Amino acid sequence: MAERIGIIGARGYVGSELIRLIAGHPRFELAFVSSREREGQRLRDHEAGYTGELAYVAHGPEAAAEQGVDALVLALPNGKAAPFVAAVDATAPETLLIDLSADYRFDDAWYYGLPELTRDRYAGQRRISNPGCYATAMQLAIAPMFDVLDGPVQCFGVSGYSGAGTTPSDKNDPAKLRDNLMPYALTGHVHEREVTRQLGHAVEFMPHVAPHFRGLTITANLHLQRAFTRDEAVARYRERYAGEPLVRVADEAPWVSAIANAHHVDIGGFALSEDGRRLVVVSTEDNLLKGAATQALQNLNLAFGFDEIAGIPA
């Protein structure tokens, strides 16, 4: 019998990706998708490739909690999850909740679901916080060298404007972004705090928005406690991610144009300073997929005991 999944916030870019992934999963069934703006409209009129009969609903917190779903995925902007969490806690506490916002990434009662780094911490928790898109790329770029870091890690990031969501702003206005690179939140960004907390090591993050729609890249600058050769550094990454189908390590620095619509993270570049104590690594991912929807599907699979990459296209 299929596990029934509900989605709140289905009109956004990530919601669209989730609909396609869950609808195509061999063991999941879309129970409902909620969007106030599209209430009553058929999904297939908006989602290419979806052939089912579902129409959008507009469930508030109590209605969503009462649907009897096996899992509820919250694809809402930051600051909007709490009423839904409270309603599920009160009405159906055994429902699996996956929150894609930053609202519970700093809450120790929630499992932080970056499977490649945290799956050994999963012990059946019914509350899962999906990592941020940039935070995923940064942590995967840093983790293999974590034990030899010397001082803060600097990460320069550039994302497509889909990362700014659908609410109009300068950061997702194609006219303002044309021929432009827009810096923002250059200190104290939520992903900077998230990665610093998860790694227990200072990370300094400088994000920017570019004119392309999807895909992000981070360039991580790692100071090391001792000298490394390039081969030694690369070997650490290959060993750490051996057997991880959604992390690919290459010699060359990856390009954002190659990661759009892909479900994995590319890590490469691996430039060392002359003294061997400064390593620069590049990490790219599709911010809507491995940075959000694909990772949510990994976490759903993990929670229900399925193959972690079930339903994720190769």
* CA–CA gap between residue 258 and residue 215 (Å, rounded): 9
In the set 133, 164, 246, 297, the catalytic residue is 133
Phi and psi at residue 222, to the nearest 5°: -110, 120
Token pair for 122: 């999963």
> What's 191's DSSP letter?
H
> What's 287's DSSP letter?
T
Tell me the sheet residues that pair with 182: 209
Cα-Cα-Cα-Cα torsion 312, 27, 5, 95, nearest 10 degrees, comes to -110
How many other C-beta atoms lie within 10 A of the C-beta of residue 167?
9
CA distances from 305 to 37, 99, 295 (A): 34, 19, 15
Is 133 a known active-site residue?
yes
Residues with catalytic roles? 133
